[in-house]
Amino acid sequence: MFRLVRDRTPWPRPAGPCFSQGAPVPAVPRSSTLPALALRRARSFAVPLAGFLLLTALTFLGLLAITFFIGRVVPIDPVLAVVGDRATQEQYEAARQAMGLDRALVVQFVDYVWQVMQGDLGRSVSTNRPVVEDLARVFPATLEMATIGIAIGVALGVPMGVWAAARQGSWVDQVIRVLALLGYSVPAFWLGLVGLAIFYAGLGWVAGPGRIDIFYDGIVPPVTGLLLVDSLIAGDTGIFMNALSHIALPAAILGFFSLAYIARMTRSFMLDQLSQEYVVTARVKGLPEWRVIWIHAFGPIRVPLITVIGLSYAGLLEGSVMIETVFSWPGIGNYLTVALLNADMNAVLGATLVIGAVFIFINRISDVLYRVLDPRSR
């Protein structure tokens, strides 16, 4: 039998003051390391933030350029919308000079960017009010309806997509795929009209078009612009229930459209994860099926799913024009439609700019959440 003997011979140390026998190792002063560490941390935070702000500013500048030049090439004369068809040539030229349309296109764009940076989007021809005030009045209505719609889409679409992937090929999967296909195929205005005919005119389950009954209009003081929230702040349950009855059907229709997209993408993501080897290993170990699905398979898809939900939310904010028109909803989509019909280019450009800015903001927030949930992307 062999017995291991521990070698206690000391390792040879190189000559020098720091490695000599018994020489103390010089300590680095703690006060000198703290500023350097704080500087590195501040730099690691400031550089990504500066890149984020620069990219957002460049994207917004591109949006300004697109909206401005589209507004100049469309076959709509903003001068005629102001002076009317019966104005003389002198009146037409005076209004054109007052609006700055006689200057070079580059100069007009620089002036437009400067006005937008100052919060001035011009004056609406339809309402004779500043466009900023009109947008501040109508945008909360769209935001409220789209937020409820995306909440419905996420609450139902994600579980449906996971269920369909877990039961691939079954009747549950087929039904969910058909619902998702209907969400892509059915026109929004047709579904809105059918919903009004069935649930409002036929069954009387919901209130009709509009945001609130005329009897309750103007009673609740606007605090946030969101009628449901303002009625709760005021403590008026009657107005809250009336507003909820009005918003239920259009928000449910928007929720159905977002549900179709979210369920389809969730199913696709889950099918990819369920075929991975680590899921097979988890099942072989005998883990419960719910744990395999919701912990092991669903965890990795949260990151791309945030992007899908963000795009769906932005799509509801910009694509609710038909729903707002059918339900006479006083939102930004209805405001944009009326502005187009009246050739009100200041209102059209302002509404388009706000919708694009919201789209940029939601995408930036999705990128931030992507980095928070996935350390590999940092």
pLDDT in tens, 87-129: 777 777 777 777 777 777 788 788 888 888 887 887 887 787 8
pLDDT of residue 152: 92
Is the domain of 254 the same as that of 304? Answer: yes
Show which of 120, 146, 166 is a domain's final residue: 120
Q: Are residues 168 and 65 in the same domain?
A: no
Query: Which residues on adjacent β-strands are paired with residue 123?
Result: 130
Residues 73 and 166 in one domain: no
Tell me: pLDDT of 11 over 60.
no
The Cα 311–Cα 321 span in angstroms is: 17
Most confident of the ranges 10-24, 137-151, 175-189, 291-305 = 137-151
Residue 208 lies in a domain: no
Q: How many domains does the chain have?
A: 2
Q: Quick check: 151 pLDDT over 90?
A: yes
Residues 140 and 164 in one domain: yes
Indicate whether 169 belongs to any domain.
Answer: yes
Quote the pLDDT of residue 350. Answer: 85
Shared domain for 255 and 341, answered yes or no, is yes
Whether 73 and 150 share a structural domain? no
Predicted local confidence at residue 150, as pLDDT: 92
**Cα Rg, the chain, nearest whole Å:** 30
Counting residues of the chain whose pLDDT is more than 70, the rounded percentage is 81
Mean pLDDT of 156-180: 89
In a domain, 370, yes or no: yes
Q: Is the pLDDT of residue 342 over 70?
A: yes
- For the segment 346-357, the average pLDDT, to the nearest whole number, is 83
Residue 83: both structure tokens together: 């002076």
Question: Global pTM?
Answer: 0.76
Residue 347, exposed/middle/buried by CB under 10 A (0-12, 13-18, 19+)? Answer: buried
What percent of the chain stands above pLDDT 90? Answer: 7
Q: Over range 45-49, report the average pLDDT.
A: 66
Q: What is the pLDDT of residue 54?
A: 80
Are 350 and 135 contacting, i.e. CB atoms less than 8 angstroms apart?
yes
Same domain? 332 vs 369:
yes
Q: Is 90 or 75 the better-scoring residue by pLDDT? A: 90
Domain presence at residue 66: yes
Candidates 19, 60, 251, 217; CA nearest to 227 is: 217
Phi first, then psi: give them for residue 125, nearest 5 degrees: -75, -35
Range of the domain at 157: 132-187+248-377
Q: Please check whether residues 68 and 153 belong to one and the same domain.
A: no
**Per-residue pLDDT at 19:** 45
Predicted confidence at residue 26, as pLDDT, reads: 54
Residues 359 and 272 in one domain: yes
Query: Given pLDDT bands bounded at 50, 70 and 90, which one contains residue 20?
Result: very low
Q: Counting every residue, how long is the chain?
A: 378
CA 139 to CA 120: how far, in whole Å?
Answer: 17
pLDDT the model gives residue 35: 67
Instruction: Please check whether residues 96 and 76 belong to one and the same domain.
Output: yes
Please check whether residues 324 and 262 belong to one and the same domain. yes
- Range from 27-41, 224-238, 256-270 carrying the lowest mean pLDDT: 27-41
Give domain status of residue 95, yes or no: yes
| Section 359-372 average pLDDT | 77
183: domain CATH number is 1.10.3720.10
**Cα–Cα distance between 128 and 134 in angstroms, integer?**
10
Using the structure block, give the residue that is written with the tokens 């007052």. Answer: 98
Last residue of a domain, one of 99, 120, 141: 120
Q: Select the more confidently predicted residue: 197 or 303.
A: 197
- Are 82 and 166 found together in one domain? no
Q: How confident is the model at residue 214 (pLDDT cuts 50, 70, 90)?
A: confident
